[in-house]
Amino acid sequence: MESVPTSRVIRVAIDVPVFRLFDYLIDPDEPDPVGLRVRVPFGKKVVTGVVMECIPSSEFPEELLKSPIRICRDIPPLNEDLLALFFFCSRYYHHPIGQVVLNALPSWLKSDRDLVPMRNRSYALTESGMIARLTGKNLLELREHLLQAGFLDEAAIRKTFPAATLSRMKERGFVTEVELPFSISKAPELGPEQSQAVLSILGNPDGYRPWLLHGITGSGKSEVYLRTMERVLKEGSQVLFLVPEIGLTPMLENLIRSRFPFTPLVSLHSGLADGERMQCWLQAQAGIARIVLGTRLAAFVPLANPGLIIVDEEHDPSFKQQEGLRYSARDLAIFRAKQLSIPIILGSATPSLESYHKAKTGRYGYLAMKSRAARDALLPSIRLVDLRRYSTPHGISSPLAEAISARLDRQEQSLLFVNRRGYSPALICSGCTWSPTCGRCSARLVLHLRERKLRCHYCGHTEDLVQSCPSCGNIDLKPVGHGTQRIEQTLSGLFPEARILRIDRDNLLRKSSFQDMLKIIDRGEVDILVGTQILAKGHNFPNLTLVGILQADSSLYSCDFRASERLFSLLTQVSGRAGRATLPGEVLIQTEFPDHPLFTSLIQHDYDAMANLLLSEREAGGFPPFSHQALIRAESPSVDHAHRFLRKVEKSARSLAQGVTVFEPVSAFLPRMNSMERMQILLQSQSRKSLQNMLDLLIPSIAPDRSVRWHIDVDPLEF
């Protein structure tokens, strides 16, 4: 009797928009390929896929199955935890598995390019190397590089320096190969609240535990992160550290690097070139990188030996991806911590109401830090300028102008924060109130005075400034509202001597320019800063003692139920910029609603009061975190098509709804964008499980409909 060799079947994730894996045959002698990349024939092409499973036989006849052209063994396989994360992500966000997996990989690994050899040995300076008197340009330069980078791999050193440079440093014991981390921390002594936080986190027995670290701005949350990291790193584990935007937080990266100068750190963000990203990714996978600092996409990085996850500024909406796979990196990080049985710290001065609610109901550990860490650093005093009493001819009221003037006299810095959420400067005709709009979107064009252009902030469409009203011929076209540019103009009129710097997205396209600006501010070469959201993130400007807030009100009457939460958090963050060192800070908010409870809580620095108020509103309205939501959005050039599609969705949803509320299809917040009509339908339930069960049935039934472009957003943040 002849034994027939049985083949095995691999199930491969491929980057196509379908909710399934694809079967291929492999040789039974092939070592287990789960987690490896494969090059497989797919239709007429050859594509890269990832082996998710290996099973004895397929539901398809074997003679129909093809075999992979190549099984890539150049890097270690993705481990089971990561594959499980991908499966979870696909299920939870109802996004095709292949697209989840392939988009989480550095694009290098998806191509057919050869891998560049993996970095092997890395070197760091020893303590004697740091202080030794060196002569010779190469030695000095190498030391400078090592100081900057913390560690460098051999290949990189050899590219820049002759072989002798490194060997001389080695011979004299000035560099060491980095394997085990050892820190030379010159950490400050912890304050009582910080110690309590660190003790709680580290004192907890091993295993999954989420912690909400709720510390006011300046309470020293970073120090708590560093101390917990120190322990985890000493034990030989890796730390995954997620931040909303790396380019905007160079200080944090510098702080970590300087505290753990010999601990290999990689920084993963979308600004990296392909090759760099892949190198960082591989170092994380191999466990060489001990600290992985990254933006939301780092939620998917493979880790050899994870011991701790930190999500800084956990409330920040940029943790949620707004296109393609609409995932929340914070929520996935929590999933991972649970899956890996490790602690996770969610830090914020203004936690998201979701996290705050979980902490208050005991599902997360709650660590509060209510005083500032640095001695003598006081919280700023917050005052309201009642716009019903003061006019603002050019956006700036007289009390604010006086406060700025006082700062100029004392050579201190001021920051004017222009809240642009739900607001933008426009041009309006004084005769007939005509105002230029974008031809492709239902949006007003935003006035860019300096370039003399009108620009659509949704689709990028740009036009020249019109000279007269096309509707009535009037030439008196007036700018309304005050964008950063107009405020800058007003300021230079009011304070001709002052040095003014404007910081917003428009003049900040490059990361380096932002860092340059920070340096200029630090050196005191600026008197008045004008900026948007960007300035709210955690930078310390020691000489900054005044923050003026303009146009806070636009968020108060927004139809987004999260607008108040965001405004409070934004204003708290910006206020936190004032008076961080020993100079007391002052915040002036211009508003027409000085009695609004949001401002009352803000003045009293009372996040809890605000959060409890908003939570009771949310509870009464049945909004998150008291319910779970999913949004199905449809886009079509024809509003009828979009509507018809959503009516069908509504009908199927209603037939499936058990414990799920199905709302009517409505226009999106921005009903037209890029010549597409946009509509949406909201599904909401008190039970996450009921909502998920319904989506499991609903999505396959609407997936084949190609009459419109549609997508699903689970736990949507934007409406």
Identity of the residue, 87 or 458, whose beta carbon is nearer to Zn ion in the bound complex: 458
Q: Is 646 helix (H, G, I), strand (E, B) or coil?
A: helix
The least CB distance from residue 329 to ligand ADP, in Å, is 19
CB closest to ligand ADP, residue no? 220
* Lookup: tokens for 189: 């002594």
Q: What strand order describes the sheet that includes 152-153?
A: 152-153, 122-125, 175-177
A 10 A CB-CB count for 674 gives 15
Q: How many Å apart are CA 429 and CA 424, to the nearest integer?
A: 16
- Residue 471 touches which of ligand ADP, Zn ion, none (CB < 5 to 8 A by kind)? Zn ion
Report yes or no: 575 and 380 within 8 Å, Cβ to Cβ.
yes
Report yes or no: 142 and 169 within 8 Å, Cβ to Cβ.
yes
- Residue 440 touches which of ligand ADP, Zn ion, none (CB < 5 to 8 A by kind)? Zn ion
Closest CA to 568 of 421, 460, 367: 421
Q: What does residue 283 show for φ and ψ, rounded to 5 degrees?
A: -65, -35
CA gyration radius, the chain: 28
* Binding of Zn ion by 670 (CB under 5 A): no
* Binding of ligand ADP by 194 (CB under 6 A): yes
- Stretch 489-518: interaction string toward ligand ADP, x if CB under 6 A: ------------------------------
* Binding of ligand ADP by 348 (CB under 6 A): no
- Residue 461 touches which of Zn ion, ligand ADP, none (CB < 5 to 8 A by kind)? Zn ion
Q: Which stretch binds Zn ion (CB under 5 A): 10-18, 355-363, 466-474, 637-645?
A: 466-474
The least CB distance from residue 484 to ligand ADP, in Å, is 25
Phi/psi-derived region of residue 542, left when phi > 0, alpha when psi is between -120 and 50, beta in every other case: alpha
Closest CA to 419 of 509, 483, 500: 483
- Residue 472 touches which of Zn ion, ligand ADP, none (CB < 5 to 8 A by kind)? Zn ion
Identity of the residue, 194 or 414, whose beta carbon is nearer to ligand ADP in the bound complex: 194
- Stretch 420-449: interaction string toward Zn ion, x if CB under 5 A: ---------x-xx-x---x-xx--------
Q: Which stretch binds Zn ion (CB under 5 A): 341-349, 459-467, 594-602, 628-636?
A: 459-467
- Residue 77 touches which of Zn ion, ligand ADP, none (CB < 5 to 8 A by kind)? none
Q: What does residue 687 show for φ and ψ, rounded to 5 degrees?
A: -110, 120
Binder to Zn ion among 107, 258, 471, 582 (CB under 5 A)? 471
Identity of the residue, 463 or 592, whose beta carbon is nearer to Zn ion in the bound complex: 463
Report yes or no: 213 and 346 within 8 Å, Cβ to Cβ.
yes
Q: How many residues bind Zn ion (CB under 5 A)?
A: 15
SS3 content of the chain, % helix, strand, coil (to 5): 35, 25, 40
Identity of the residue, 190 or 666, whose beta carbon is nearer to ligand ADP in the bound complex: 190
- Residue 28 touches which of Zn ion, ligand ADP, none (CB < 5 to 8 A by kind)? none
Write out the binding residues for ligand ADP, residues 371-400 only, by CB under 6 A: 373-374
Q: How many residues bind ligand ADP (CB under 6 A)?
A: 17
Identity of the residue, 220 or 365, whose beta carbon is nearer to ligand ADP in the bound complex: 220
Look-up of token digits 């398809």: 60
The least CB distance from residue 219 to ligand ADP, in Å, is 4
The least CB distance from residue 430 to Zn ion, in Å, is 8
The least CB distance from residue 422 to Zn ion, in Å, is 17
First to last CA, the chain: 67
* Binding of Zn ion by 671 (CB under 5 A): no
DSSP collapsed to 3 states, 482-541: CCHHHHHHHHHHHCCCCCEEEECHHHCCCHHHHHHHHHHHHCCCCCEEEECHHHHCCCCC
Closest CA to 166 of 145, 148, 185, 182: 145
- Residue 220 touches which of Zn ion, ligand ADP, none (CB < 5 to 8 A by kind)? ligand ADP
DSSP state at residue 116: P
Q: Which residues bind Zn ion (CB under 5 A)?
A: 429, 431-432, 434, 438, 440-441, 456, 458-459, 461, 469, 471-472, 474
> Which residues of this chain interact with ligand ADP, rule CB under 6 A?
188-191, 194, 215, 217-223, 373-374, 538, 540
